[in-house]
A and B are shown apart, each in its own frame.
Chain A
Amino acid sequence: MMRKTNWPLWLAPVICVFALISYPLLFVNWAATRDFPWANIALFVIADLFLVLGIRRAFAPGRRWFSKIVASVIAAISALLFAAFIFVAFVAARWLPPSTRAPQVSQKAPEFTLKDTSDKPVALAELLSQPVNSRPARGVLLIFYRGYW
């Protein structure tokens, strides 16, 4: 007897994988979807809806025991992916060094000299004294970035 593929069941882990990887690869690029990853959480919720649908189908009367095992395994994998996302986005992301000696507001910014993109050494003092649009610079915004977002 041929049975229809339980497509909601198979769709759930696919959406879960996308929900997990789309945060660093896509949604982190916009502040609105980055500062709180609601888009990714919404994707996981959608995946869970498909999962519930798929599990109900798998456990419907007349289904083989095998489909129930497959459904249980897929449910476990989907839950694991969601847990991995929560861990990466909210737990591991907060494991940062204390940076107690980082310059505070109203302290002097430590001087440094680094190479620019044409290998020319540039000092912070130079940037502060260099005119911008032929007017004296009002200041410098110093950005230490990590990852390209």
Chain B
Amino acid sequence: MKSKIKNTALLLIIVLGLFPIGNAAAESPAEGALDESLALLYASRSILLNDVDLEEANRAQNALMSTSPQGSNDANGALAHLIHATKQQRNELNDSYRTLRAAYQAEGKTCELQILEEYYKAEKAKLDLRLGYLHRLRGDRRRALTRLWHSVKRSGNRIWTAVGPVGRRILKNVGSEAVQVVLSGGSLGGGVIRKLVIKEARNVGEAELNRLLERGVGRFMQSQAALAVAAGVSDCTAEKLDEARQQVAGDVGEPAAEKNGNDPEPESADPSITFTGQSTFLCDQWVGDAGDADGMAKIPLEVNFNSGEFYGEASFPFLDQMDLPQTSTYTYEGTVSQEGILIGKSTVSSTTNNIHVTSIGITVELLGVVTDDGRGIYLFTTQESDTEMIGLFEDGREAVLNDLKNWGLSNNTSEYPPVCR
């Protein structure tokens, strides 16, 4: 009778243990397909690079020193990887958000702000929820063993039978064992010693990751904006949203390292951009090549003014810096009068998207003058946006592109006396 009671009690414990207690385990906070794929990537990298959350690792150590079972320590060790991965994902989201918010607020871009705010809130909520679940799981595992049975249930017979003595050993160091398998396929025999490149050259591994995120998030933002328009849930007009999509898509995914390192500002706010071409800007003639630019964007390259006309094509050095294909081409056409007035237009022939130029796909009207001091000033205006950009050529050797407002320059070209009268 006594043994029957024991057996029944044991059975009850086991059966009850198969069901999750509490509500911490049920729902996955990661919704959205892209999020899930990224979560896998972050978790994998965290394990391979043996990145753990230090706070979590310390807690795991404390758990070991207490009376908690050995399994609890192993569980927390593995959790430390996942918590680190989630925090890393959240940190990068925060970095992107702060940078973009500041830029959009400064530029008064309300549509971009609206899309960005919605995106950020939703993503951050998911990650916060996930972190909360993971922390609660850690607490649960410290307190009771019963939750462990949930894993047994979920894993099924296949995994149950696959666990053996070696499996137990491997649990104690997920990262190093995973790396060993990756390096050798399970055995380091044969004297072959290999290294994981993304571990040896961290910056390269992060650059790959950032590049992937740039495209993925950029595309995701575009689809979200399109859905917002279709659903009529956005305050923005379709035109504004279209503009916003291009802006946001090009910005959100910028590599975090670049953001952190250079504290980037809007492209138009950097006055230090120069190019070192050999062009000469005369009254009715501008000849020579512009050479390479060391800034974000210098146009035109190889643009020729001749006999009162100018024409040419320009590529964008900044596309290379942004890891974008050099498929865009500015074409120029127009005239320069004897009075030094430049009238023409520049058209971008590229279909490339995701780049931080509001004039992509549209024609930019050019209006400019040659000034007394030898500067050529181009005024870029577009109908699609209120962007006004200026090309400033000094002595035919330097140029800057910038926002008129940031430069304190007037957009009234009559204020710049032409040199060729």
Q: Does A associate with B in a complex?
A: no
**Partner-B contacts on A (CB < 8 A):** none
| Chain B contacts to A: CB under 8 angstroms | none
